[in-house]
Amino acid sequence: MSSKSIPSPARRVIASLLWCLLIALCESFQSVRIYSSCRSNSLGHNRHDTSLAAGLFGKKEKEEKSSSSAPQPQAAVKRIFNIPAQSIKPGGLRFALGLHLIGLQNTPDHGSWKANQATDTILEMTFRDNSAMFSITLGDEGIAVDRYGTPSLPYLLQESVILHSVLDEINSLANEGDIEVQNRLLRLEESGNAIEEARSTLPARKA
């Protein structure tokens, strides 16, 4: 007894359904891959942007291996300026300046700088061309700013912009607002004008 063959129209309908099912399965698989890739990239991006913020809030993370192209502390160190102080509250000052640096990372455009908390008393800013970086060290006797690496011309121009802003913030913390002197995060030496002297060392004037 011979089996009846499936009519041609029915075969076409079945083939169409199987083809649609195959397409749906492929799209589903591709969506899963895209989601996994995006989630991985998002997590990596968040770790990059929150490294300094985590340090500011006291969370210690393992240090990433530094890139071979990034400027190293032992190479071509130069003291840019030093601001003597009568007293410093290092924890609060690190927090305030750290938040300020985070806000400057995209100056003049996105990804220009990367802020990092090296230790409890040292904040760092690395320029995107990796030619140089600067550090802000909070010591018992004042604030020291050092440059590492061989700076490019774009670095020097943008470093001045950032450090003028940092000096504005230091001046605000030391002198502005209705805060009792003993409660300030930073008390500068009464003699001299340390802020303006620090500005005079920068390659570009304040805009």
Nearest to 122 by CA among 50, 48, 52: 52
Residues near 152 by Cβ (< 8 Å), separated by ≥ 6? 127, 129, 131, 132
> Is the whole model's pTM more than 0.85, yes or no?
no
Q: How confident is the model at residue 83 (pLDDT cuts 50, 70, 90)?
A: very high
96: Cα within 13 Å, side-chain hemisphere: 20
As a whole number of angstroms, the distance between CA 132 and CA 155 comes to 7
Amino acid, res. 141: E
Region for residue 130 given its phi and psi (left: phi exceeds 0; alpha: psi -120 to 50; beta: otherwise): left
pLDDT of residue 27: 52
Q: Estimate the share of the chain in helix, then strand, then coil, as percent rounded to the nearest 5.
A: 45, 20, 35
- Give 17-60 pLDDT, tens digit per residue: 666 665 555 454 444 343 344 344 443 444 444 456 556 655 54
Tens-place pLDDT, residues 115-169: 999 999 999 999 999 999 999 999 999 999 999 999 999 999 999 999 999 999 9
